[in-house]
Chain A
């Protein structure tokens, strides 16, 4: 496998897929539980491993086929990811991962405010006023609409929940 091969995103993607599906296929009995029994016969008419085996097997074969067929010509410019884009993408997903991890511990309003502020700056907004307005107001408004009007639950710190109900009279 040449360096050219690994530069093409498709090849990285398909090779990873190939490895996972091949491993999954070979080790399927360890990954899927044993069928349940009833009166001595299997409880269900098809075993839990039937469909997954077919799927993983077919996937392995097709991944090999794709690697063969799509590498018969040289990769063009668009099929290779640039480095700057990769860095920005990394930061972007990092911010989102942090948002996802923080939402439950520190509550929806606070985590959203932080995420909105950071993202706004990162995406290019340089207007301080806009950032503050959006980050401060949007999460609170959405939280109120969701929990009052739509009666769904968003994670929130007790303190903020109590403060809001006192402010708005429950």
Chain B
């Protein structure tokens, strides 16, 4: 009998709850944002994405007048967090902090439960990082061509440590192998850190890395750079990928904030304004600089053009590689 009372009370509460929320929800939506915004990161804690996000979310509240809270949702190679945002309400309170490989490339290697191009619109590309091909100081390779020659002479004998299949180190490596027609032995590691450690320990002959990680090791002479991505030379005397014969938009990781498709324009504009203001914030630039990241902002529409281009490039790449 007591159970009956409980059941009745539960029903009453549920009905009351629905009624109240309906009334309150119907109350006019005030200025965006009127409650904290959630920034979903589809990766685990402590990664470079997480660190970047922490810097952003500790400073942008001053420009939005609301908190931005990081929600880590790792799983299924980034699909879990991404699909959550794809299915979330397009009201600007749930955003995704992703990068180009997850955004535009994954759809060609896996069956995704969402459509990256149509389910998301870019809000802002906060920064990008060029990758570099690195070898340990004890390596016999002095130039990029040395390595290519050695790889051609003994196919599969040169080990490249990368951070995971289809990740930020893997894709440039695959592109490299295809453009120069060489066969490298790709050894996976759980992220950029372990890959770097393998390189330093001598377990791998060559690897790749981003400036934030390479910096101190390069300065102390523990590693050498053989080539860098991008149209311009970053280090003196080190060729770019283009010069080394690797074509295309190779080796750049773009960190981008995405919103679910259908988010109202004025909401997107407000967010873009906040990110633009962030660029001029001295604390932000200082902290980003310390992390070794640049602060090159690209707003929504400009980055969208890049996304379309990336989508085509990656499709061709994946088709060619995964025969």
Contact = CB atoms under 8 A, between A and B. Distances in A.
Given A43-B165, A117-B6, A36 B322 contact: yes
A124 interface: no
Contact of A106 (B14, B69, B178, B321): B14
Interface in A124-157: 151, 153, 157
A121 B109 CA distance: 53
Interface size class of chain A, counting residues whose CB lies under 8 Å from the partner chain: 20 to 34
Interface in B67-120: 69, 71, 109
A115 to B, nearest CB: 10
Given A36-B109, A43-B165, A117-B6, A159 B17 contact: yes
A23 interface: no
Contacts of B323: 37, 39-40
Interface string A152-168: 01000111101101000
B20 A110 contact: no
Given A36-B109, A151-B69, A159 B321 contact: no
Contacts of B13: 106, 110
Contacts, number: 49
Nearest to A152: B71
Contacts of B38: 153
Nearest to B16: A159
A110 B17 contact: yes
Contacts of B322: 36-38, 43
Given A114-B6, A153-B71, A39 B177 contact: yes
Consensus secondary structure, chain B interface: helix
A107 B71 CA distance: 19
Contacts of A163: 20
Nearest to B183: A39
A160 B17 contact: yes
B17 A39 contact: no
Contacts of B178: 39
Interface residues of B, number: 26
A14 interface: no
B184 to A, nearest CB: 10
A118 interface: yes
A110 B14 CA distance: 8
B174 interface: yes
Interface in A9-46: 36-40, 43-44
A107 B17 contact: yes
A2 to B, nearest CB: 40
Contacts of B17: 106-107, 110, 157, 159-160
B21 interface: yes
Contacts of A159: 17, 20-21, 24
A121 B13 CA distance: 20
A150 to B, nearest CB: 11
A159 B15 CA distance: 12
Interface in B107-156: 109
Interface string A72-88: 00000000000000000
Max chain A C-beta neighbours (<10 A), residue from B14, B174, B177:
B14
B24 A158 contact: yes
Interface of B: 2-3, 6, 10, 13-14, 17, 20-21, 24-25, 35, 38, 69, 71, 109, 165, 174, 177-178, 183, 186, 188, 321-323
20 contacts: A37-B322, A37-B323, A38-B186, A38-B321, A39-B183, A39-B321, A39-B323, A44-B188, A106-B13, A110-B13, A110-B17, A114-B10, A117-B6, A153-B71, A157-B21, A158-B21, A158-B25, A159-B17, A159-B24, A160-B17
Given A107-B17, A110-B14, A118-B6, 4 more contacts: A38-B186, A44-B165, A158-B21, A159-B24
Q: Which 3 A-B pairs rank lowest in CB-CB distance, beginning with the nearest?
A: A159-B21, A159-B20, A158-B21
